[in-house]
Chain A
Amino acid sequence: MGALGRVCEALERVGVIAGYEWRRGIAKKSVLALVILAVAIQTLVIVSNYEFNRSSGIVPSGNAFMWISTVLEGGAQALFIPLIAIIVAGGSMSEEYEHGTADILLSKPISRIEYMFGKFMGGYSLLALVEALITVVSVGLSIGFFGAQSDLQFAPLMFLAIAYSSLIFFCLSFMFSEVFRGTTLAILLAFAMYIASLVMTPILSFLYGNVSRVVPTWAATGFPSFLLSRLITASNTVLPSADTEALYEAALIIAVYTVVFVAIAALRLLKSDVTKKTD
C-alpha cells in the first residue's frame, strides 16, 4: 500500500473515532442542557433588546448590525461556548479511562495518535456545530426582530472566527483531561483557569498594558471582534476598533496555545501506560 493509501486509512480511523466522540458528546445530558440553555439565553437577549427598544421608543442606529452584537456579545457565545467547550473536552479522554473503555478502543487497529485526533476532532466539530447553531439562531432572530441586517456575508467568517477562538479553552480542557485522566478535575481546572484569565486580563492590562495579551481570554474573546472590525467598515458598527497587529497577535496566541496544549496531551498519551482505574 502506498503512502497515500496509508494516509487515507489513517484518516478513516480518525473519522470513525470522531463519529464515536459525537455520539458520546450528544449522549451527555450536561452538554445537551447547556446547548439548550445557550440557545434559550441567546433568544432571550434578542427578544429583550427588541422589547426594550419598542417600549422606550428608541430606534437605535445599529439595528442593521444587531446580528453582530448578538452573535459576539449576546450572552450565549460569550458565556456558554467556553463552558460547553470545557465540558465536552474535559471528559473526552478521561472518561474512557474512568469507565475502562479506553482498553477496548486502544486494543483495536488504531494508533494512539489517531485515537487522540479522532477524539479531538469529534469533540471540536461538535462544539463547532453548537457555535454554528447559536450563530444561525442569532442571525435569524436579528433579522426577524430588527429587520434586514447589514454585511451578513461575513456571518460564516464570524462563525469560523468564533470556532477558532474557542480552541484555546477546548484544548486546555482536553489537555487536562488526558494529563490528569479525571473528568471532574479536568473540568474544574479548566474552568478555574477560564475565570482566573477573565479576572486577570483587565488587571494586567491596567498594570502592564499589552502584557495582558498573553492571558488566554484576551485572544479568545478578542479575535472574532478584531477580525470583524477589520472587515466591516460601517461607521456605526458596535464593534471595537482593532489594528492589524492585535488581530494577528490574537490569531498567533490562539495557535500557540492550541499547539502547546495538544502537544502536551499527545506526549502524555504516547509516553504513559493505559492504566485501569483499579490499578
Chain B
Amino acid sequence: MQLVPVLASNSVLNISDVTKYYGKFKALDSVSFSVDKGWVYGYLGPNGAGKTTTIRIMLGLLEPNRGEVQIGGVNPIKDPVQAFRSVGYASELPTLQTFFTAEQLLDFMGKMFRLSTQARKEKTWQLLNLVGLKEWGKRKIGTYSKGMVQRLSLALALINDPMVLIMDEPTIGMDPEAAVNFRNLFINLSKEGKTIFISSHLLDEVQRICTHVGMINKGKILFSGPIDQVLDAFTQKWVVEVELEKVSEKIVSSLKTLDSVGDVKVDGNRLMIELKEKKDVRGEISSEIFKQQGVLLSLNLRKITLEDAYLQALKGGQ
C-alpha cells in the first residue's frame, strides 16, 4: 500500500510538487508532503536521496525549479523575514562561528530574532543549561568538540522559542547520554505543540520519537504518513528472524509453503519471515528448517521495525 501525501489545510510545513535539478541531475522529483502542527516528522532516506536538498529548499537556501515550499503559509524564498520568525534550524555537523563564545553567538542569534536584551540574556543561559554547556558558555566555540558544537547548534535553534524546528541529523556526533536527553527534549517540545521535522539515518531514533514519517529515495517520496500506518503499509507487524549456517533455496521454498508465512526475504545467511498474523510459529518454522536439513543458529519473533519497512521500501522502490 502506498500512502498518498495529503496536503492538509492546517499544515505548518507544506512541500508541494517540488522538483530540483543540479545541472542535469534531478535531485528532487515532484516531492510533496505536509507536516501539521504538533507532529514530529521523521524524514528518512539513504545518502543522496534528497533529504538535505529538501531541507535546504525549506530554508530558502535553494530555489526549486518547480513547485513551492510554505512555512506557516509563507514562501521562504519570497518572504524569509516572515517565514523564519518562528523557525529554528539545526544543521548536520554544523560549523559555527569559532570567533564567538557560545554566549556571544546565542546573543547574536537572539538579536536576529529581535529579542530584548533581557530576554536574550535569560534565554542564553537557560539554553546553555539545557544542552549541558553552561560551564562552556564563556569559552570560544573553536575550543569545542564536535558533539558540543552539535549541542550548541540545537540551543541556537531554540533561541527564538520556535513553533517549527527543522533538524538535519540532530543527534549525530553526540554521546549516547546526550542523544537520549535530546530525544526526550524533542518529545517534550512536541507535547508543547511545536512541530518538529527531523532528517535522520537513525531509524530507531525516528521510531521512538516521531509521530509521522516520510521516506525519500532517488529524489522521490516513497511514502508519507503516520508512523504506525507506514509500518502497516509495508508488511504485517510481526516477523521471525532466522539465522542459518547456510541458506538454501529448498529451505526458503518450503518455508513459503507454510500457512502462517506471508513472505520470506533472504539477506546473506539470514531469513526474514513475515507472518500473516501475530502468532508464535517459531516451533513450526524451526521444524520445517530441520526437515530441510538446515542448521539453525538463531530464531527470534519480533514486531517489525521501521528499519525493516525502510529496507523493504528501498529494495522495492515503492
Contacts and interface: CB of A to CB of B under 8 A. Distances in A.
A106 B104 CA distance: 18
B96 A104 contact: yes
Contacts of B94: 100, 104
Interface string B29-63: 00000000000000000000000100010011111
Contacts of A275: 62
Interface string A6-37: 00010011001001100110010000000000
A107 B114 contact: no
A199 interface: no
Contact of A107 (B63, B87, B97): B87
Interface string A82-117: 000000000000000001110111111111100000
Interface in A242-279: 273-276, 279
Interface of chain A, main secondary structure: helix
Contact of A111 (B81, B99, B112): B81
A23 B56 CA distance: 27
Contacts of B156: 104
Contact of A103 (B61, B82, B109): B61
A111 to B, nearest CB: 6
Contact of B112 (A109, A112, A274): A109
A219 B212 CA distance: 62
A109 B85 contact: yes
A271 to B, nearest CB: 9
A109 B59 contact: no
Contacts of B83: 109
B84 interface: yes
B108 A20 contact: yes
Given A23-B99, A23-B100, A101-B97, A106 B91 contact: no
- Pick the 9 closest A-B CB pairs, nearest first: A27-B99, A274-B61, A107-B59, A100-B95, A109-B84, A108-B112, A273-B62, A109-B81, A107-B89
25 contacts: A9-B81, A13-B81, A16-B108, A19-B111, A20-B108, A23-B104, A27-B99, A99-B97, A100-B94, A103-B56, A103-B61, A103-B89, A103-B91, A104-B156, A106-B60, A106-B61, A107-B89, A108-B109, A108-B113, A109-B84, A109-B112, A110-B80, A111-B81, A275-B62, A276-B56
Given A19-B111, A103-B56, A106-B60, 19 more contacts: A9-B81, A9-B114, A13-B112, A16-B108, A23-B99, A23-B100, A99-B97, A100-B94, A100-B95, A104-B96, A104-B156, A107-B61, A107-B84, A108-B109, A109-B112, A110-B112, A111-B80, A274-B62, A279-B22
Interface of A: 9, 12-13, 16, 19-20, 23-24, 27, 99-101, 103-112, 273-276, 279
